[in-house]
Amino acid sequence: MSFLKIRDPIKRDLIVEEFLKTKKNIQENFITERLGDISAQRELSKLFKPITETQKDRKESLESELKPIKESSKELPAYPQLRAIAAPPEDEDEEEGVMQVGKIAQ
């Protein structure tokens, strides 16, 4: 918004003053909201501290138990690759109602 386009100096001063007040209010509200969020975060961390501490202890114990398993799995040989089973060749002159079966099923 350009305040220079307002020709009446009294009206311009009032609009600029109102704009500055609004800007200051927005900044103050933002600061109080941020401080409120920080204090709420602190309160929540105090409330849930016993839970988070026990979860942290369990995580560390699980990691220490799983570490040897992870290291030993790296030493295992790679899985053998499975060969793809080739599809039997399709005969173009087959009837639609005839079902193809393998040697064992025959």
**pLDDT tens digits, 69-86:** 888 877 777 666 666 666
Q: Where are the domains of the chain?
A: 3-75
User: Is 80 exceeded by the pLDDT of residue 35?
Assistant: no
Side chain identity at residue 17, one-letter code: E
Mean pLDDT of the chain: 79
C-alpha 92/C-alpha 14 separation (Å) is 90
* Predicted local confidence at residue 23, as pLDDT: 92
Which residue, chain included where needed, has tokens 């001063």?
A: 13
33: how many CB neighbours lie within 10 A of its CB? 10
Q: What is the mean pLDDT of residues 29-55?
A: 84
* Predicted local confidence at residue 18, as pLDDT: 92
Q: What is the mean pLDDT of residues 62-67?
A: 90
